[in-house]
Amino acid sequence: MNLPDGLLDGGWTAWLLFVAGVGLAAWRAPWHVLADSNRLHVFLGTIVALLLLWHLKAGVKPGLSLHLLGATFLTLCYGWALAGIGLCLVLVGASLNGIAGWQAFAVNALLMAGVGVAASHAVHLLVDRVLPRHMFVYIFGKGFFAAALTVIAVGAASCLLLTLAGAYSGEYLSSEYLPYFFLLGFSEAWLSGMLTTLLAVYRPELLADFDDAQFLGRK
């Protein structure tokens, strides 16, 4: 995650995919949600908080860094479209501060915002489809487990891309980089699950698909 300049040659393909993805997200985003000052403040505050978390990273080689992501929490609060845009804004801040490269911006956005939000959204849809609508299921399925699986998916996609690009060998990445995403997934799950629990209990109106009447018996 947070690939530096010069490690990969994303070319025009990555930028075209990025522009297409951002365009789709902007078209499908529920912008009216941000008309509520409370939702807007939480959205902007989450972006700032994630920018600080992205600075707390570990890594020993270029491109092989680890940090919390926040894709699942943003997706729960604002849906996939606004979550993707929000993570791209976080990446802009990270690039301005020098922890990510501008030339690699499109590739980083596709990995962290694209794969991260897509994986979160897919798990959320799967939970809704196969599991009962219950408070426990919502918190642990969409908050905890979705966050862990999302980080692992981003890690797997990063390793695959680095291997195909010839930046590192698949054997090295599978033994020295990918396993740490399982540990990082636990941290991501704890943070996302804790925040989801707090919002579900005290501020459920801040969650995009939380049904007060069904989960809490509120009219």
Q: Is residue 3 a part of any domain in this protein?
A: no
Asked if residue 146 lies in contact with residue 127, where contact means CB atoms within 8 angstroms, the answer is yes
Q: Is residue 104 classed exposed, middle or buried when 0-12, 13-18 and 19+ CB atoms within 10 A define those classes?
A: buried
Q: Is residue 24 a part of any domain in this protein?
A: yes
Please give the backbone phi and psi of residue 2, each rounded to the nearest 5 degrees, phi first. Answer: 55, 60
Q: Indicate whether this model's pTM tops 0.75.
A: yes
The CATH number covering residue 33 comes to 1.10.1760.20
Q: Is residue 124 a part of any domain in this protein?
A: yes
Structural domain boundaries, residue 109 = 11-215
Only one residue has tokens 């990445």, namely 173
Q: Tens digits of per-residue pLDDT, 89-103?
A: 999 999 998 888 888
Q: Is residue 93 a part of any domain in this protein?
A: yes
Q: Is residue 184 a part of any domain in this protein?
A: yes
Q: Is residue 15 a part of any domain in this protein?
A: yes
Number of separate domains in the chain: 1
Q: How far is CA 207 from CA 61, 138, 156, 180, in A?
A: 37, 11, 28, 30
Nearest to 48 by CA among 88, 110, 1, 93: 93
User: Quick count: other Cβ atoms within 10 Å of Cβ 33?
Assistant: 16
Nearest to 205 by CA among 33, 80, 35, 45: 33
Residue 1 has pLDDT above 90, yes or no: no
**pLDDT the model gives residue 101:** 80
Q: Tens digits of per-residue pLDDT, 151-192?
A: 999 999 999 999 998 889 999 999 999 999 999 999 999 999
Q: Is residue 2 a part of any domain in this protein?
A: no
**pLDDT the model gives residue 209:** 84
Q: Is residue 47 a part of any domain in this protein?
A: yes
